[in-house]
Copies of this chain bind each other. A is one copy, B any other.
Amino acid sequence: MTAPVKSSPLALTVLALLHYKPLHPYGIQQLIKQWGKEQVVNVGQRAGLYRTIERLHAGGLIAVRQTERDQQYPERTVYEVTDEGRAVAREWLDQMLAVPKGEFPVFPAALSNLPMLTPDEALDVLERRADRLAAQRADLKAQLAVHTGEGVPRVTLIEHEYLLAMVDAEERWVRAVTDDLRSGGLTWSPEMLAAFDEQHNSGAPAGG
C-alpha cells in the first residue's frame, strides 16, 4: 500500500502525455514545449520533471516500458501510464477543474501594502505593470492567432484563451486604478490613514 501521490500541474501533464503514448523524460519535456504548454506547467528546470516522474513511478501510476540505448545518448528509460495512473489522472483533472484552489499569488499581497507608497509612486509602478501586462497580452494573442490559423482544434488552445482572458482582466483593472489615481478619485495620505487607525484601534496588540 503505497501512499497516495499528491497531484500537481506537472504530474497531471506527465500522466496525460503518457496516456497518449509511452515516452522517456526528455521526450515529455519536448512534447510539452512543442505543444506550447510550458506556459502553464513549470518544466523549465528539468530537476522538477525527473522528480515528478520518480514520484509517479514510486506511486505505481506509471511503469517502465523499456530502456532504450541509442548509442551516443545516455540510457533513456521509456515510461508508460498504468491503469491506476489513468484513473488517478481522471480524479486529479476533475478536482483541479471543478474546485478553485486558494493560491497566494504575489500581486494581491503586494497590493495590500499599497498604502506604504504615495499615490504618485503607486501610479508609477502600476503603470509599469499595466505596460508589461499589455505586452503579455499581445504575445498571447499572437500565439493564439498563429495556432488558430494552422487549424488547430480550439479545445487544445483553451488554456491560452484562459490566460489571455485573465491577463486582459488584470490589465483592465490596473488601468482603472491608475485612472482613479490620476483623477484623484483614489487617494490617501499618512494623516488620513492614521486618523482612521485611531478610530478603530483602542486595544492595539503589544508594542513598545
Contact = CB atoms under 8 A, between A and B. Distances in A.
Contacts of A78: 206-208
Oligomeric state, in copies:
2
Contacts of A114: 97, 155, 158-159
A21 B204 contact: yes
A41 B110 CA distance: 9
Residues of A contacting B: mostly: helix
A146 interface: no
Interface in A169-208: 169-170, 172-173, 177, 186-188, 192-193, 196, 200, 204-208
B125 A97 contact: yes
B196 A151 contact: yes
Given A12-B109, A97-B125, A23 B196 contact: no
Could you say which interface size class chain A belongs to?
35 or more
A9 B192 contact: no
Nearest to A185: B154
Interface string A96-140: 111111011111111111111100001001101100110010000
Interface of A: 7-10, 12-13, 16, 19, 21-24, 27, 30-31, 37, 39-42, 65-66, 68, 76, 78, 80, 89-90, 92-94, 96-101, 103-117, 122, 125-126, 128-129, 132-133, 136, 150-156, 158-159, 161-163, 165-166, 168-170, 172-173, 177, 186-188, 192-193, 196, 200, 204-208
